[in-house]
Amino acid sequence: MLTPTAGALERNRTVSRVGERALAVVRSDHRVDVYHSQWAGSVNRLTRVLETPVDPVAALAGADWQYRGRWQPGTLSRRVDALDIAVVYHVSTSGVTVYLPVWLGFTWPGERVTRGVLVRVDTYEQCRCLRATLRFLKSVFHEAIGLDLLDSDTARDLLALALRTRCSPDRIHTPGTRL
C-alpha cells in the first residue's frame, strides 16, 4: 500500500508501507479484542506458531502488538483487508488457530473491495501450498484477463471453485461468519 507523506523541507512523495502484517483476535465471552502487528505475519513467526512445540501464545508474544479496538464477533471476517493482512491469529483458551486472508478479486487496487475469505490452516505446509496455488492461479487468470480470454467475474468464480476443491467448507470463512 502506498501512503503519501509530506515533510517540512520536501514535496509530497510516496512511501511504501512494507511488512508482513497480522491481526491477533482474542475472544472472550461476547467480545473480540483485535491487535495489529507489522511483522507477525512473517514466515518465521508463522512457522513457530504452527510447527514448533513452543506454546503458540508465547510465539506470538514478542511481535509488538498494538491494540486496534473491540469488534463484534460476526464482523471480523468483513473487516479484514485481505490484501493488507497476511495472517489472522485467533487466540482462545484452547490455543491459537491460524487463518490466511484470501482476496478473490481481479481488479486494480484502487477499484476493488478488499474483503475476502479467511482460510484456516493447521500446518506451515498447508499455508505454503495454499499460497503457491493461489499465486499460480491468479497469475494465469490475470494473463487470461489481459488477453481478453476471461472476464474478471469468471476468474473470481474459478478461483473460488479452486479454493473450495482444495479446502473443506469448515475451513473457509466468508464475510459475516464467525471464526
**pLDDT at residue 61, as a whole number:** 86
For the entire predicted model, the pTM comes to 0.83
> What digits encode the pLDDT tens for the residues 128-179?
999 999 999 999 999 999 999 999 889 999 999 999 999 998 999 888 777 7
Whether residue 9 has pLDDT greater than 70: no
Whether residue 5 has pLDDT greater than 70: no
109 — pLDDT class (breaks 50, 70, 90): low
Type of residue numbered 77: S
Contact 72, 123 (CB under 8 A): no
**pLDDT at residue 175, as a whole number:** 81
> What digits encode the pLDDT tens for the residues 58-104?
888 888 999 999 988 777 878 888 888 999 999 988 889 999 999 98
> What digits encode the pLDDT tens for the residues 37-58?
999 999 999 999 999 877 888 8
Whether residue 8 has pLDDT greater than 50: no
Q: Are strands 22-28 and 87-92 parallel, antiparallel or unpaired?
A: parallel
